[in-house]
Amino acid sequence: MTATDVTIEPGSESTGDEPVLVVEDLQVEFRTREGVAKAVNGVSYTVDAGETLAVLGESGCGKSVTAQAIMGILDTPPGFVTGGSVRFKGTDLLKLPDKERRTYRGESIAMIFQDALSALNPVYSVGRQIAEMFRVHRGMSKKDGMAKAVELMELVRIPAAKQRVNDYPHQFSGGMRQRIMIAMSIALDPEVLIADEPTTALDVTVQAQVMELLADLQRERNMALILITHDLGVVADVADTIAVMYAGRIVEQAPVYDIYHRPAHPYTKGLLQSIPRVDAKGAELYAIKGLPPNLIRVPPGCSFNPRCAYAQDVCRADPPPALERLSGTRAVACHFHEEVLHGSRQ
Amino acid sequence: MSDPTSTGTPDQQEIRQEFMRAGAQNIALPGVTAEESALPVGDVGKPRSLWQDAWEDLRRNPLFIIGTILVLVLVVMAAFPQLFTSVDPRSCSLSNSRQPPSSEAWFGYDLQGCDVYARTIYGARASILVGIFTTAAVMVIGGLIGIVSGFFGGWTDSIASRITDIFLALPLLLGSILLLTAFPSTAETPELVVIGKVVFALAILGWTQLARIMRSSVIQVKNQDYVQAARALGASSNRVITRHVLPNSLAPVIVVAMISLGAYIGAEATLSFLGIGLQPPVISWGIAINDAATYVRTSPHMLFFPALFLSVTVFAFIMLGDAVRDALDPKLR
C-alpha cells in the first residue's frame, strides 16, 4: 500500500451519527449541442451500514447518473456535477482532488454494472481480473491474488471455482458473469456497494439467485447497498427504503412496505399499477401514458404533469413542493399527495 | 442455497407473498437452480482467450501457413544469406557481364558481372530491415498519437487529429523523395545509416493511417463498460490505458501494420529504383531493378529475379496480414 492510500478502519462505524453515505442536493447537468440537460436536479439520499436503498425509476430519469456522480466516473464532458455534496463518512468526495478520490473507489465505494459481459475485460481471464483488485490496491503477488480470486469466486457461489478461475468472461453464463462482477466489487470490502441494474440483463430465475447473493453478502459484511433498478419485483425483496426518481428528482421516498401499499405520488402509483398480474389476466395492462420528458425541455411546473391523472392548473404553473415529510420515514413531492394517498380521485 | 422467501423482514415477506399470490411477474421462484446444473463444469478443455482463439483459427488457415513459411524463409535469408549461397555477391568479374542463367549461375549475371542469385539473396536483408523498422516506427508513432487523441478527447484530440491530417496530406512517396533528396546518401555513408534514412523518410509520413485506426479503435473501446467498471473499482488512467484500452484496441492496428509492412518494402524498392533510397554498395532489390531497367529487352533475367523476390515478399506479408485479420475479426470475412 502506498503512503497516499487512506487506511480504513475495519467494521463500519460512521463518524458521529451521520450515515455512511450522504448525498445532498446533488446537481448534474449534461452540456450537449441541443442545450443543457439537468439529468440530476437536487437529489438527496442517505444509506447507512447494513441498509438497502432502492432507487427506482424509468430509463433516463437520472438514477444511473446519480450513481456515476457518486463514484466520480461521470464522462466529463458532457456531464458536469454542478452542485451538492457526496459525503462518505463525513468526507465530501466531490471536493477531493482526482488522485485522492480514486483511493475511495473500490476500497470504500464499489459499483457493479448492468451487463456483466461488457463490464468484464474480454482479454483477461476472470481470475486475473479479480486478482488485479488485490494486486493494484493491496500489492499482493500474482499467486496470492489468484488464491484470493478463487476464494472470492467460491464466496459468490461459482461452482468449480478452482477449475474456472482461468476461464475467460465469454465462457461464463450471464448469471455467473454477474457473480464475477460482484466478486470483483466486494474484493476490497467496500462499505458502500452501488448496484446499477444488476439483474436487468438476466432471466428471472437467475435474477433471484443474484439478488439473494447480493442480499446475503450485504448482511454478512454489513455493507450499505444502493440498488438501482426499474424492476419493482426485484426491489420488494431486498430494499429497506425506496426512492422513486422522475426527471432528475426524487419524487417519493419511503420504506418499502409503505410504497407498495399506499403510494403517495401519482408516478409511484402508476408504476405499481403497470406490473402485470395473473389475477388480472385478460384485462388491459395499465401503462403510464406518454414518455418521460426530454431533460433539455422539462415542462414547466411539475415535470410529471403531462402524464399525471391528478394534474391541475397548479401543477402546470408551480413546481411541486420540495420533498415533503409526511411522517417520520416518508417523503413525497406532489401537490396532491393527500388525494393520491387516500385514492380519493379517479 | 436457502429459500429466498425466508429472507427479509416480516414486512418484506408479506409483500413478497402477496405478489406471489397475485402471480406478479419478475418475482423470484424459490429453489430454482437451473443455471447451475446446466453449466458444463471442468470438461470444457483449456480456457482460451481471444488471442488463443485467433491462434487456433490461424493454425488451420492455409493462407497463414503459406504466408508464415514464406516470411520465415525470407527472414532466415535476411539474417543468414550465406546459408543459401556460397557465392560472394561483391566478387564480380566484368567478363561475365549480362550473362543469361546457366548451370553455373542459376539467375545469370548482372551488368557488373555479379551473380544475380547471390545478390538477390543478399538483397533480402535491406528490404526486410526497412520493412520491419518502418512498421515498428509507424506503430509506435501512430499508436501513441492514436491512443492519446482517442483516450483523452477534447482539445488534445483536436490538435493530434489536425497534425495527423497535415501529415496525411503529404503523399508518402513524394514526401520521401523530397526528404531523401534533401539528405542524400553517398557510397561512403555506412549501410545502417542509409537504411535508417529510408526508414525515417517512410515512417515520418506513414504513421498517419495507423494513428487514425488506433484513435477510432480506442474511442470504441474506451466507451465499453469494462473501462468504466475498471475506473469504478479504482484503476488509474495509466492502468486503464495499458491494461484495458490498449490490449483491446490493438487488433486492427496489428492487421494494418502487417499489410503495410509489404507496402513499405515496395516503397523502399521504388525509392531505391529512383536512385535516392538505398545506395550502392548496399545490396537491395530496388537497386538491382534500377540497374536492370535499361537492359530489360536484352537481359530480362536481371530484372525478373529481384522483381519476383520483391513481389513474393510483399505478397507474403499481405497474405499474413489478411489471415490475421480474419482470425481477429471474423465478422469481416
Q: Which run of H or of E encompasses A108?
A: none
Rounded to an integer, what distance in angstroms lies between the CA atom of residue B126 and that of residue B130? 6
Please report residues of B whose CB lies closer than 8 A to that of A113: 225, 228-229, 232
Grid coordinates of B131: 520493412
- Which residue of chain A is at minimal alpha-carbon distance from B6? A237
- Which residue of chain A is at minimal alpha-carbon distance from B34? A205
Q: Is A283 on the interface with B (CB under 8 A)?
A: no
- Which residue of chain A is at minimal alpha-carbon distance from B245? A121
Calculate ∠ Cα A180-A181-A182, nearest 5°. Answer: 90
Question: Partners of A224 in the beta sheet?
Answer: A192
Please report residues of A whose CB lies closer than 8 A to that of B250: none
Contact (CB, 8 A) for A78 and A32: yes
- Interface size, chain A vs chain B, as Cβ–Cβ contacts under 8 Å: 172
Compare A226 and B326 and report the one with higher pLDDT: A226
Q: What contacts A267, CB < 8 A, 6 or more positions away? A: A244, A246, A251, A252, A288, A304, A307, A308
Residues with pLDDT less than 70, chain B: 1-50, 105, 329-333
Rounded to an integer, what distance in angstroms lies between the CA atom of residue B189 and that of residue B7? 83
Q: Is B193 on the interface with A (CB under 8 A)?
A: no
Q: Are strands A91-92 and A79-88 parallel, antiparallel or unpaired?
A: antiparallel
Q: Is B31 on the interface with A (CB under 8 A)?
A: no
What is the per-residue DSSP string for B109-178? B-TTS-BHHHHHHHHHHHHHHHHHHHHHHHHHHHHHHHHHHHHH-HHHHHHHHHHHHHHHHS-HHHHHHH
* Min Cα separation A168/chain B (Å): 6
Average predicted confidence (pLDDT) for chain A: 81
| Radius of gyration for the alpha carbons in chain A, expressed in angstroms and rounded | 21
Q: What pLDDT score was predicted for residue A211?
A: 85
Please report residues of B whose CB lies closer than 8 A to that of A97: none
Interchain CB distance below 8 Å, A73 and B25:
no
pTM for the complete prediction?
Answer: 0.71
Contact (CB, 8 A) for A150 and A232: no
pLDDT at A238 over 70: yes
pLDDT in tens, A100-131: 888 888 888 998 888 777 888 888 888 888 88
Place of cell 556460397: B86
* Min Cα separation B139/chain A (Å): 21
Q: Is A167 on the interface with B (CB under 8 A)?
A: yes
* Min Cα separation B151/chain A (Å): 12
Contact (CB, 8 A) for B310 and B269: yes
Q: Is A198 on the interface with B (CB under 8 A)?
A: no
Place of cell 452501488: A194
Which candidate, A319, A283, A321, places its Cα nearest to that of A301? A319
Which alpha helices (H) appear in chain A, and where do they start and end? Answer: 63-71, 98-102, 116-119, 126-138, 142-155, 161-164, 174-186, 204-221, 232-238, 256-261, 266-273, 313-317, 337-342
Judged by phi (left if over 0) then psi (alpha if -120 to 50, else beta), residue B109 lies in beta
Angle between helices B116-152 and B246-273 (to 10 degrees): 140
Question: For residue B244, what is the DSSP state?
Answer: I
The lowest-confidence range among A173-182, A213-222, A328-337, B126-135 is A328-337
Peptide bond into B190 cis (omega under 30): no
Interchain CB distance below 8 Å, A236 and B243:
no
Q: What pLDDT score was predicted for residue B138?
A: 93
Interchain CB distance below 8 Å, B44 and A231:
no
Angle between helices B301-328 and B116-152 (to 10 degrees): 30
Interchain CB distance below 8 Å, A168 and B231:
no
Most B CBs within 10 A among A114, A123, A132, hence the mutation to make, goes to A123
B233 φ/ψ angles, rounded to the nearest 5 degrees: -100, 15
What 3-state class would DSSP assign to A138? helix
Single-letter amino acid code for the residue at B133: F
Reported confidence tier of residue A4, pLDDT bands at 50, 70, 90: very low
Rounded to an integer, what distance in angstroms lies between the CA atom of residue A253 and that of residue A55? 9
Please report residues of B whose CB lies closer than 8 A to that of A171: 44, 47
Reported confidence tier of residue A249, pLDDT bands at 50, 70, 90: confident
* Min Cα separation A231/chain B (Å): 8
Interchain CB distance below 8 Å, A181 and B15:
no
Reported confidence tier of residue A279, pLDDT bands at 50, 70, 90: confident
Rounded to an integer, what distance in angstroms lies between the CA atom of residue B57 and that of residue B60? 6
